Amino acid sequence: MRLCANENLPADCILRLRQDGHDVLWIREAAPGSSDDAVLARARDEKRLLITFDKDFGELVFRRGAKASQGIVLFRIAQPSAAVVAARIAAILASREDWFGNFSIVEEFVIRIRPLPDAR
C-alpha cells in the first residue's frame, strides 16, 4: 500500500509498515514542518493514503473544501508506547481493503468510514 504518514506517527510505526512491505512516505523525513494543506496535497499528488493522528484533516476536507488525498485514516487510539502503536496500526491497516476513497476514523473499538467528497 502507498502511504503518506503524517509526522505525528512514531518512527517505530514507519519502520513496521515498511517491513510489512508498504511504500511509506513519512513527512517527518521528507518535509518536516509542512502545513496540513501541503501534506494533504502531497498525499493526493502521489496517490497515497494519508495516515495521521491529526483531526484537522477532516476539517480541511469537509468544512474548508480542500481536495482530499486518496483516502485519510485518522487514528484516535491510545498510545501507550511506540511499539504498541506500530503493531496496532499495522494490524488495523491490514484488516480492511476499503481505506481508499474514504475518510476513516479509527477509535479503540470502532472504525467509522465515510466517503470523501471527491470520491462521491
pLDDT of 87-111, one tens digit each? 999 999 999 999 999 999 999 999 9
Check residue 65 and give its pLDDT.
Answer: 87
- Asked whether residue 120 carries a pLDDT value surpassing 50, the answer given is no
Q: What is the mean pLDDT of the chain?
A: 93
Q: 109: which residues sit within 8 A by CB, 6+ positions away?
A: none
Report the CATH number that the domain containing residue 110 is assigned in CATH: 3.40.50
Q: What is the pTM of this model?
A: 0.94
Give the rounded distance of the alpha carbon of 34 from its chain centre: 15
What residues make up the domain containing 65? Answer: 2-119
Check residue 119 and give its pLDDT.
Answer: 53
CB 108 within 8 A of CB 77: yes
Domain count, the chain: 1
15-29 pLDDT, tens digit each = 999 999 999 999 999
Check residue 66 and give its pLDDT.
Answer: 87
**DSSP line for 9-54:** S-HHHHHHHHHTT-EEEEHHHHSTT--HHHHHHHHHHTT-EEEES-
State the Rg of the chain over Cα: 13
**C-alpha span between 49 and 101 (Å, rounded):** 9
